[in-house]
C-alpha cells in the first residue's frame, strides 16, 4: 500500500511538472474554459500551480471563467480568486475555518457556519426610525456611524457583523477628531466611499440570491427545481418593479438601493398591480425619503460646518454680553443646530454665501433659542429618568417610580454624562455623578448624540446624559441615613448639609473621611462600599472637625472662577480662590470683590471643591465606638 501511494504521488508530481512545461498561452486558454470552482481546486494542487493560478497576471483568466459560467461579478474589495473561494468553498466555514457546512451571508459578504453567524453578529430590535443600539462598541461614537456599517434586517431586528463594527469604529475615531479643512474633507470622503460601497453590494444582493437558486436548482424541467427558480425570479422581478415605481416618483437609485425595507424575500409575486403599490408605498417611501435627506445632509456637510462656524461667532458675541456665571450655563452652539430658523440658514443652497448678516434675526432672538435648547435638555432628562424607572421597577420603592416633571430637582435622582470616546474608564469618571440642574447644565458632552434634525438625519448635539440608576440608589440610602424625606430637593439637601462617614473604611483602624453627600456619592461610586450599613452620619465631633478644616481647604482647591471674564470657566482652567482674587485685583482693579457677584465656585469642579476631611485611624475608631 505504501509503495502504491508513493507511486501515485510521484506520478502526480510528474504530471504537474509536465503541465508546467506547456506554453503559457495554451495554459491560459485552457484555464479560461474551466469553471472557477475547478480553478480553485487546481490552485490547491501544488505550490507551483498555486503560484500560477492565484497570481495577479491571471486576473483576466478568472474573469473569463466567471463570465463564461454566469457567475456574478465580485463585490467591491474582493479579488477574483477570493470571490470564487467564498462562493464555492461550501464545506468549510471561512470564519472558524473548520470543515463544516456553511452558507454565504450576502449582507455581510462572509461564508460562515451557523455557530459563527450567531457568535459574530450583534442583534438589536429595530424599534423605529430614530433608534440607537446600546452596545459598548458603539456608545463612544456618534449615531451617524450606523450608516457606514453593513447591516442585515430580519424579523424586526437588525444585525451587524462584529468585525465590521470594530473596523468602522476605529476609522471613525481616527477621522472624526480632525478639525482642519483637509481632515474634514478626508472624513467626508471616507463616509461617502463607505456608503457607496455598501450601496453597490446591496444593489447586487437580489442578483446573488437569484444566481444561488440557479446553482441549487439547476434543472429547468424537474418540477421542484422549476418551482424554486420561478419563485426566486418572481421575487427578483417584483423588487425591480418596486424600485422602478420609486424612481418614477422622483427618488434616486442610490437612495433606493439602501432602503432596509426593500427585502426581496418579502415580495414573492411577480406582477405588481396598482393596488399592491398603494399598499406597499406607505411602508417603503418614508425610509427612502430619510435616506435621501441623509445623503443631501452628507453632501452639504462641509458647507454646513463652515456656516456653523459663522453662527458660532455670532453666538460668542452674544455670550460676551453675559457674566461668566451665566455663560457657562448656556448650551454649546451645536445645541442650537435644530432650531427651525437656524436650520433654514444652515441648509440654504450651497451657492449662497452665508455671512454673519444672515444671522442678524437669530442674534436678536438668541435668548429664546437658548431657552429652547435647555428645554430640550430637560425633556431628555425626564425621558431618561422615566425609562430607567420602568426597566428597574423591582429595585425601587413606589415613591421612586413616580418620576416628577423635573426629576433633576430631587436629591435622589443622579444623572451622568454618557461615555466619551476618550475616557479610558468611563464608568469610574466623576462626571457620572451629576446632581441638580447647576451641575448638569454646566457640563457638555462630545461623544455620540441621540438628537435627530429630522427622521433619518442625526446631528451632533452635546447633551447625551443618562440616568445613573446605581448612584441614584446610593443617594436614596444617604437620604434615609440623614432622616430626610424621599422627596427632598437638592437645594434642601444642601441647606441641611449632612455629613457621612464610611463604616467599611473604618475597619482595620484605617484612616477614614467625613463626606458631604455629593462626595459620599462619588466615594460609593468609586469604591463600591454598598452594603446596608456602609454609611453613617458623622458625629458632632467629626462634623465640627470637618467644617473647621474645609473652609481653608476649599479655598486652596482649583475650583474657583472669575465672574468678570471667562478665563477660569473650563474645569482645567479653574484656580484657587487666592489666584482668582489676585486676578480680580490685577486685571479688573477690584479691591473688595464679593461672591458671587465677582467670583464663584465653578460647578464643573464641584467634586474637587467638596473635599473630604480625613480622620486619623485612632480618632476614627474612637468616634465609631461613640456611635455604637
Higher pLDDT, 424 or 371: 371
Q: Locate cell 473596523: which residue?
A: 167
Is residue 270 over pLDDT 70? no
- Tell me phi and psi for residue 613, to 5 degrees: -100, 120
Confidence of residue 129 (pLDDT cuts 50, 70, 90): very low
Q: Which residue has the higher pLDDT, 296 or 622?
A: 296
Specify the pTM: 0.80
**What rounded mean pLDDT belongs to the chain?**
83
Indicate the pLDDT class of residue 268, thresholds 50, 70 and 90. Answer: low
- What's the CA angle centered on 89, arms 84 and 90, to 5 degrees? 130
Torsion angle defined by CA atoms of residues 94, 96, 102 and 106, in that order, rounded to the nearest 10 degrees: -50
339 contacts: CB under 8 Å, gap ≥ 6: 369, 372, 373
CA pair distance 530, 515, nearest whole angstrom: 15
Kindly state the percentage of the chain with pLDDT values over 70: 83
Helices (H), 217-260: 223-248, 253-256
CB of 452 closer than 8 Å to CB of 130: yes
Question: Does residue 604 carry a pLDDT above 70?
Answer: yes
SS3 68: helix
- Please check the confidence at residue 618 and state whether its pLDDT lies above 80: no
Q: Are 303 and 345 in contact (CB under 8 A)?
A: no
pLDDT tens string 195-234: 999 999 999 998 898 898 888 888 877 888 888 888 888 8
End-to-end Cα spacing for the chain: 89
Contact 434, 465 (CB under 8 A): yes
One-letter-per-residue 3-state SS of 98-167 = CCCCCEEECCCCEEECHHHHHHCEEEEECCCCCCCCCCHHHHCCCHHHHHHCCEEEECCEEEEEHHHHHH
Residue 33 CB-half CA count within 13 A? 5
- Collect all residues with Cβ–Cβ distance below 8 Å to 99 and sequence separation of at least 6: 91, 92
Q: What is the mean pLDDT of residues 528-553?
A: 83
Q: Detail the DSSP E strand segments found in 366-444.
A: 415-417
Structural domains for the chain:
14-88 (1.20.1280), 186-299 (no CATH), 326-481 (no CATH)
Alpha carbon distance 335, 522 (integer Å) = 29
Residue 154 has pLDDT above 60, yes or no: yes
At 367-402, the pLDDT tens digits run 999 999 999 889 888 988 887 655 444 445 555 555
CB 245 within 8 A of CB 277: yes
Is residue 598 over pLDDT 90?
yes
pLDDT-derived band at 90 (thresholds 50, 70, 90) equals: confident
Confidence of residue 153 (pLDDT cuts 50, 70, 90): confident
Question: What is the Cα–Cα distance from 420 to 441, expressed in whole angstroms?
Answer: 17
481-499: pLDDT as tens digits: 999 998 999 999 999 999 9
Please state, in angstroms and rounded to a whole number, the distance separating the CA atoms of residues 463 and 466: 10
> Is beta strand 415-417 parallel, antiparallel or unpaired with respect to 560-562?
unpaired
Amino acid at each position: 500500500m505504501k509503495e502504491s501511494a508513493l507511486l501515485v504521488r510521484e506520478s502526480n508530481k510528474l504530471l504537474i511538472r509536465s503541465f508546467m512545461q506547456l506554453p503559457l498561452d495554451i495554459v491560459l486558454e485552457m484555464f479560461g474554459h474551466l469553471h472557477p470552482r475547478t480553478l480553485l481546486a487546481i490552485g490547491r494542487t501544488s505550490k507551483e500551480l498555486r503560484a500560477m493560478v492565484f497570481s495577479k497576471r491571471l486576473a483576466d483568466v478568472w474573469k473569463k471563467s466567471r463570465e463564461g459560467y454566469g457567475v456574478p461579478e465580485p463585490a467591491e474589495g474582493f479579488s477574483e480568486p477570493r470571490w470564487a473561494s467564498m462562493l464555492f468553498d461550501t464545506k468549510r466555514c471561512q470564519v472558524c475555518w473548520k470543515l463544516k457546512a456553511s452558507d454565504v451571508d450576502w449582507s455581510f459578504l462572509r461564508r460562515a457556519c451557523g455557530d459563527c453567524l450567531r457568535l459574530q453578529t450583534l442583534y438589536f430590535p429595530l424599534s423605529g426610525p430614530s433608534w440607537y443600539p446600546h452596545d459598548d462598541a458603539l456608545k463612544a461614537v456618534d449615531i451617524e456611524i450606523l450608516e457606514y456599517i453593513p447591516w442585515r434586517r430580519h424579523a424586526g431586528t437588525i444585525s451587524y457583523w462584529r468585525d465590521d463594527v470594530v473596523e468602522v469604529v476605529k476609522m471613525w475615531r481616527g477621522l472624526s477628531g480632525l478639525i482642519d479643512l483637509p481632515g474634514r474633507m478626508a472624513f467626508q470622503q471616507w463616509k461617502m466611499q463607505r456608503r457607496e460601497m455598501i450601496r453597490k453590494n446591496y444593489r447586487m444582493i437580489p442578483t446573488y440570491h437569484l444566481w444561488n437558486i440557479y446553482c441549487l436548482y439547476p434543472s429547468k424541467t424537474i418540477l421542484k427545481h422549476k418551482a424554486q427558480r420561478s419563485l426566486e425570479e418572481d421575487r427578483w422581478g417584483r423588487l425591480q418593479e418596486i424600485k422602478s415605481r420609486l424612481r418614477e416618483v422622483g427618488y434616486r437609485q442610490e437612495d433606493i438601493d439602501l432602503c432596509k425595507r426593500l427585502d426581496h424575500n418579502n415580495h414573492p409575486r411577480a406582477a405588481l398591480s396598482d393596488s399592491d403599490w398603494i399598499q406597499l408605498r406607505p411602508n417603503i417611501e418614508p425610509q427612502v425619503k430619510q435616506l435621501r435627506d441623509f445623503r443631501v445632509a452628507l453632501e452639504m456637510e462641509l458647507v454646513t460646518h463652515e456656516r456653523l462656524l459663522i453662527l458660532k461667532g455670532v453666538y460668542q458675541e452674544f455670550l460676551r454680553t453675559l457674566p461668566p456665571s451665566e455663560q457657562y450655563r448656556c448650551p454649546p452652539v451645536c445645541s442650537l443646530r435644530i432650531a427651525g430658523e437656524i436650520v433654514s440658514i444652515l441648509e440654504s443652497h450651497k451657492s449662497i454665501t452665508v455671512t454673519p448678516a444672515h444671522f442678524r434675526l437669530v442674534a436678536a432672538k438668541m435668548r429664546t433659542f437658548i431657552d429652547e435648547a435647555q428645554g430640550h435638555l430637560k425633556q431628555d432628562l425626564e425621558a431618561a429618568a422615566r425609562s430607567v424607572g420602568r426597566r428597574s421597577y423591582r429595585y425601587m420603592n413606589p415613591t421612586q417610580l413616580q418620576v416628577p416633571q423635573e426629576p433633576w430637582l430631587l436629591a435622589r435622582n443622579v444623572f451622568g454624562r454618557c461615555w466619551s470616546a476618550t475616557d479610558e474608564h468611563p464608568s469610574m469618571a466623576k462626571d457620572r455623578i451629576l446632581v441638580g440642574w447647576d451641575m448638569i447644565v454646566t457640563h457638555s458632552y462630545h461623544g455620540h448624540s441621540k438628537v435627530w434634525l429630522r427622521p433619518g438625519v442625526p446631528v451632533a448635539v452635546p447633551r447625551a446624559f443618562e440616568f445613573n440608576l446605581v448612584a441614584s440608589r446610593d443617594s436614596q440610602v444617604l437620604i434615609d441615613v440623614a432622616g430626610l424625606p424621599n422627596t427632598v430637593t437638592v437645594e434642601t439637601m444642601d441647606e441641611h448639609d449632612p455629613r457621612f462617614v464610611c463604616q467599611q473604611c473604618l475597619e482595620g483602624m484605617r484612616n477614614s473621611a467625613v463626606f458631604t453627600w455629593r462626595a459620599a456619592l462619588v466615594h460609593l461610586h468609586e469604591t463600591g462600599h454598598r452594603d446596608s450599613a456602609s454609611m453613617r452620619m458623622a458625629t458632632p465631633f467629626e462634623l465640627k472637625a470637618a467644617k473647621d478644616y474645609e473652609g481653608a481647604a476649599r479655598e486652596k482647591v482649583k475650583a474657583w472662577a472669575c465672574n468678570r471674564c471667562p478665563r477660569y470657566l473650563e474645569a482645567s482652567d479653574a484656580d484657587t480662590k487666592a489666584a482668582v482674587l489676585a486676578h480680580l485685583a490685577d486685571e479688573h482693579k477690584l479691591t473688595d470683590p464679593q461672591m458671587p457677584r465677582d467670583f464663584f465656585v465653578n460647578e464643573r469642579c464641584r467634586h474637587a471643591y467638596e473635599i473630604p476631611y480625613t480622620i486619623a485611624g485612632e480618632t476614627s475608631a474612637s468616634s465609631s465606638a461613640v456611635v455604637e
